[in-house]
Amino acid sequence: MLSGLFKYSTRFTRPTLASAMCAALLCAPYSSAQDAADSSAPRAQPPAAAGQMPLPMEEVRIFAQVLNEVREAYVEPIDDKTLLENAIKGMLAGIDPHSSYLAERDFADLRETTTGEFGGLGVEVGIENGLIKIIAPMDDSPATRAGIQAGDLIIKLDDTPAQEVTLGDTTELLRGEPGTKLRLTIVRDGVNEPFEVTVTREIIKARSIRTRELEPGYGYIRISQFSANSGTEVVEALGKMQGEANAMKGMVLDLRNNPGGVLQAAVGVVDAFVTSGLIVYTEGRIANSSMRFEATADDPSHGVPLVVLINGGSASASEIVAGALQDLKRAVIMGTRSFGKGSVQTVLPLTNDRAIKLTTSLYFTPSGRSIQATGISPDIVVDRGQVTRIADSAAAYREEDLTGHLANGNDAPPTPAPAATPQPVVSADDVLVQDYQLNEALNLLKGINVLKALN
């Protein structure tokens, strides 16, 4: 999730290894400059102003000693650049599951992801107990078509054990040239043995949203991830559906298996459904990591009844949207508890092609809730399920079928059969049998409209 781009640069000379480490870690001056894309944001304070203490000399000395021992005694020569990059990777990987070092390829991949096109499998991953966990596969991606599911654990990539790679390395291994294949060994709850899946990489064109009509008057918006234009796309979709249906009766916003994305995009989606109030705020240690986002008065949704679907694959920006709409009492949240990622990562460029992704703040819902490691609890819990339609055998034989049944006293000619009801865009089997949660969301919206008519 991107909340702004800031650049910190450190320059120093390195006459010897030990003195280099002391100079770099203790004595080097910091300079701070805002990225051009965020020139209006408040300027970050240097680390000294943020109350950081100098590093203890003993630990610095040990680090330099270990580095020197590896350089001198490792079975094969390793250049200093590789050693230092590995040290940076390890330092960030040890902080939390979401901070990482972005080498040239990783940084390029991140920029591709936020702009919406990259080569790979189409999955969002994290690290859990040393294994690679699938947070969510993207819609219509090679991973989805191969049957990969949210919650799967990858224990091996081709012949590389997952325990041997960091989160940054994982991204590099998962992505690659279109047409190349990657063999994943997966552990899944409910499956007794690990199994292999071979996925062919493709150009992933991340479609931010999809829309359709469930039934006349009932719309559906699916957001697979939050890219820069997601808020604008939702507003456009609402306008189109409102125009086609004249008066929308209800809307389902589907955030299931949405791993998150750009913070401002999540704010834009919430703003499309509310007209006032705080949407989300963040708190961190430095001044420019604390932000507040308020709703604007426009209401592209025209107050249409709204149900938001979430599950364990709904993370980060998805949870911002669900939490805000829940706190502001704008929507009914349905499904299962969300993932629980309540932190914001900021990309801090180091050079033109390298950066770090660092957790700089926590976000809070309008009521002050932090969902970090707890998630959003739905208002109505609906688990995944498959429903089989059973014919009503009693209804197959009615009064009118009985021999000698009494007439109803109506001498008028038979009433012409009513005109055929327009068929839903999504078939009944699709909603009822294949997607039980969506079916329940649609039923809830219908119930809301029934209650409105009674009142």
Catalytic residue chosen out of the listed positions 316, 318, 338, 343: 316
Q: Is there a single domain that holds both residue 184 and residue 234? A: no
Q: Is there a single domain that holds both residue 173 and residue 277? A: no
Q: Is there a single domain that holds both residue 162 and residue 308? A: no
Is residue 39 annotated as part of the catalytic site, yes or no? no
pLDDT: which is higher, 133 or 273:
273
Q: Is there a single domain that holds both residue 200 and residue 295? A: no
Catalytic residue chosen out of the listed positions 109, 254, 327, 435: 327
- Average pLDDT rounded to a whole number, residues 181-204: 92
pLDDT at 300 over 90: yes
Q: Is there a single domain that holds both residue 126 and residue 269? A: no
> Does the residue 45 lie in any domain?
no
Catalytic residue chosen out of the listed positions 89, 156, 341, 357: 341
> Does the residue 375 lie in any domain?
yes
**Number of domains the chain contains:** 2
Q: Is there a single domain that holds both residue 227 and residue 313? A: yes
Residues forming beta bridges with residue 332, ordered by sequence position? 307
> Does the residue 135 lie in any domain?
yes
Q: Is there a single domain that holds both residue 243 and residue 371? A: yes
Query: Quick one: pLDDT at residue 35?
Result: 29
pLDDT at 45 over 70: no
Task: Give the residue from 205, 238, 261 where a domain finishes.
Answer: 205
> Does the residue 108 lie in any domain?
no
Q: Is there a single domain that holds both residue 331 and residue 357? A: yes
Task: Give the residue from 381, 410, 430 where a domain finishes.
Answer: 381
> Does the residue 14 lie in any domain?
no
Q: Is there a single domain that holds both residue 196 and residue 236? A: no
pLDDT at 287 over 90: no
Token code pair at residue 390: 């059973």
Task: Give the residue from 205, 225, 256 where a domain finishes.
Answer: 205
- Average pLDDT rounded to a whole number, residues 316-341: 97
Is residue 230 annotated as part of the catalytic site, yes or no? no
Query: What b/e readout covers 237-249, taking b as 16+ CB neighbours within 10 angstroms?
Result: bbeebbeeeeebb
Please report, rounded to a whole number, the percentage of residues in the chain having pLDDT higher than 90: 54
CATH number, domain of 153, equals 2.30.42.10
Give the residue numbers spanning the domain of 183. Answer: 117-205
| pTM of the entire predicted model | 0.70
Q: Is there a single domain that holds both residue 215 and residue 329? A: yes
> Does the residue 336 lie in any domain?
yes
Q: How far is CA 3 from CA 100, 386, 402, in A?
A: 16, 39, 71
Is residue 318 annotated as part of the catalytic site, yes or no? no
> Does the residue 77 lie in any domain?
no
Q: Is there a single domain that holds both residue 181 and residue 222? A: no
CATH number, domain of 307, equals 3.90.226.10
> Does the residue 163 lie in any domain?
yes
Q: Is there a single domain that holds both residue 188 and residue 289? A: no
Query: Quick one: pLDDT at residue 425?
Result: 53
Please provide the average confidence, as pLDDT, over all residues in the chain.
Answer: 82
